[in-house]
């Protein structure tokens, strides 16, 4: 919270300094010298400037003796310091009220600003989510890519039709709002919603009626057809992000985007969303699912596919969640698939430190409500790390488990 306050104060000082630089109402020269001698900051100078501009200013006469103006300026500084002190106390009061849940409507509207730092810290505890805070441009594919034959043609696309061989021609067509291109010697051809491959097949059949050497009946062709996209076709693709995302809705992504790289445009899943089963839905059918842990741990984009216009990226709820604490290289909160074991979890957490006590670790478990009357609310399960390969298959991890590795045979109290 101190970091947030410092940033807010810095922003305020910069804003005031910019205002003072403009100085619409020049200070008298002797007051300028007085201010310079007192080493005042931008906020204090701004207060004096405002007082001079006010009808109630106590420093109206720039010709007053040095001692008199000095006293008046100090009064302004004292007032300024009191205001800042009061504002800091107000912020502390709001922090206390947030904890107690006792906020007024006005305070409730602004509490998100005060909690930003806490949200960031909370996100840091969950493995993998922090990467989506980075600039989407850092992860985009190059635009110098081969044209995907499954590219969906739409309004505004530039279609290039090339004939070569016995007949040669080069023509460029822009898809109209109605979804047509007007091809010479043929007329209007409807292409909207077709893949680039289907467009080429359609144009081939139509152009055969005009050019007899294009795919002749005897199977020997002397004219050949090539259909591709022009530069103006590299426009953003409109996709939809739904499920556990911060702001569900439509997003424009680069035409070179894939399922992996498109996640950065909407800041990826929230911490309530899964990183292990991110789904791509096209025309109502799930066509791909990726596990983002593969990318984080190995750099491999396994199962990645090219994004098309109108695709839906769906983020389901986070699956089984286990927290690793203590003497481990990556003490964070991880998501496990149903068939994954304790051994998988330790691999995700980077393995043990050299100081880890290998004879004992503990699993702290919250007991399901229907079982509590028999064994209580919580239980502790001791495990031997040295015997992990055998125990890993025997111990079934439950959502919400906390696993603590120990140091010198003493359980570390770490969060």
- What is the pLDDT confidence band of residue 35, given thresholds at 50, 70 and 90? low
Total domains in the chain come to 4
CA atoms within 13 A on the CB side of 203: 26
For residues 268-275, give the mean pLDDT.
94
| Closest-CA residue to 363 (of 327, 391, 397) | 397
pLDDT at residue 394 greater than cutoff 60: yes
pLDDT at residue 347 greater than cutoff 80: yes
Question: How much is the pLDDT for 50?
Answer: 67
Question: How much is the pLDDT for 277?
Answer: 95
Question: How much is the pLDDT for 143?
Answer: 52
Flag whether 278 is in a domain.
yes
Q: What is the pLDDT of residues 65-79, one digit of tens each?
A: 555 556 666 665 555
Flag whether 37 is in a domain.
yes
Shared-domain flag, residues 366 and 339: yes
Shared-domain flag, residues 109 and 38: yes
Flag whether 262 is in a domain.
yes
Flag whether 131 is in a domain.
no
Flag whether 222 is in a domain.
yes
The last residue of a domain, from among 258, 293, 315: 315
Q: What's the DSSP call for residue 214?
A: B
CA–CA separation, 257 and 261 (whole Å): 6
- What is the pLDDT confidence band of residue 320, given thresholds at 50, 70 and 90? very high
Helix (H) or strand (E) holding 280: strand 278-282
The enclosing domain of 222 has a CATH number of 3.30.1950.10
Q: Are strands 285-290 and 249-253 parallel, antiparallel or unpaired?
A: unpaired
* Mean pLDDT taken over the chain: 75
The last residue of a domain, from among 258, 292, 315: 315
The last residue of a domain, from among 179, 206, 233: 233
Q: Which of 9-13, 250-254, 279-283, 377-381 has the lowest mean pLDDT?
A: 9-13
159 close to 227: Cβ distance less than 8 angstroms: yes
Question: How much is the pLDDT for 282?
Answer: 92
Question: How much is the pLDDT for 80?
Answer: 47
Shared-domain flag, residues 16 and 76: yes
Question: How much is the pLDDT for 15?
Answer: 42
What's the pTM? 0.58
The enclosing domain of 327 has a CATH number of 3.10.560.10
Range of the domain at 111: 2-125
Higher pLDDT, 370 or 239: 239
Shared-domain flag, residues 351 and 288: no
For residues 344-371, give the mean pLDDT.
84
Flag whether 364 is in a domain.
yes
* Burial group, residue 299, by CB count within 10 angstroms (0-12, 13-18, 19+): exposed
| Closest-CA residue to 148 (of 246, 65, 258) | 258
């Amino acid at each position: 919270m101190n970091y947030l306050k410092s940033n807010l104060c810095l922003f305020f000082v910069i804003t005031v300094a910019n205002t003072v630089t403009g100085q619409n109402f020049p200070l008298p020269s002797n007051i300028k010298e007085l201010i310079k001698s007192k080493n005042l900051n931008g906020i204090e100078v701004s207060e004096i400037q405002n007082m001079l501009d006010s009808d109630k200013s106590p420093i109206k006469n720039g010709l007053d003796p040095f001692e008199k103006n000095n006293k008046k300026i100090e009064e302004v500084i004292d007032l300024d310091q009191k205001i800042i002190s009061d504002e800091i106390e107000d912020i502390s009061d709001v922090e206390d009220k947030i904890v107690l849940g006792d906020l007024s409507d006005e305070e409730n509207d602004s509490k998100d600003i005060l909690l930003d730092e806490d949200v960031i810290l909370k996100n840091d505890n969950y493995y993998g989510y922090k990467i989506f805070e980075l600039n989407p441009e850092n992860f985009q594919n190059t635009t110098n890519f081969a044209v995907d034959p499954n590219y969906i043609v739409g309004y505004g696309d530039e279609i290039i039709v090339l004939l070569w061989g016995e007949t040669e021609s080069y023509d460029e067509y822009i898809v109209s709002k109605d979804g047509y291109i007007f091809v010479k010697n043929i007329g209007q051809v409807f292409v909207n919603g077709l893949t680039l491959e289907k467009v080429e097949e359609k144009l081939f059949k139509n152009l055969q009626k005009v050019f007899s050497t294009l795919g002749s009946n005897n199977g020997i062709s002397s004219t050949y057809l090539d259909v591709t996209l022009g530069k103006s076709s590299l426009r953003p693709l409109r996709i939809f992000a739904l499920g556990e995302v911060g702001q569900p809705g439509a997003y424009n992504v680069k035409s070179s985007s894939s399922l992996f790289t498109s996640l950065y445009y909407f800041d990826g899943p929230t911490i309530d969303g899964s990183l292990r089963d991110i789904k791509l839905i096209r025309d109502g059918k799930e066509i791909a699912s990726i596990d983002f842990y593969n990318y984080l741990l190995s750099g491999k984009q396994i199962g990645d596919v090219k994004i098309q216009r109108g695709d839906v990226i769906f983020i389901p709820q986070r699956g089984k969640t286990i927290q690793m604490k203590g003497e481990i290289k990556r003490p964070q909160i991880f998501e496990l698939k149903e068939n994954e074991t304790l051994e998988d979890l330790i691999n995700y957490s980077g393995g043990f430190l050299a100081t880890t006590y290998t004879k004992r670790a503990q699993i702290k478990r919250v007991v399901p409500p229907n079982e509590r009357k028999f064994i209580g609310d919580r239980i502790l399960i001791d495990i031997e790390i040295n015997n992990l390969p055998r125990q890993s298959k025997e111990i079934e991890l439950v959502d919400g488990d906390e696993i603590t590795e120990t140091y010198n045979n003493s359980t570390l109290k770490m969060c």
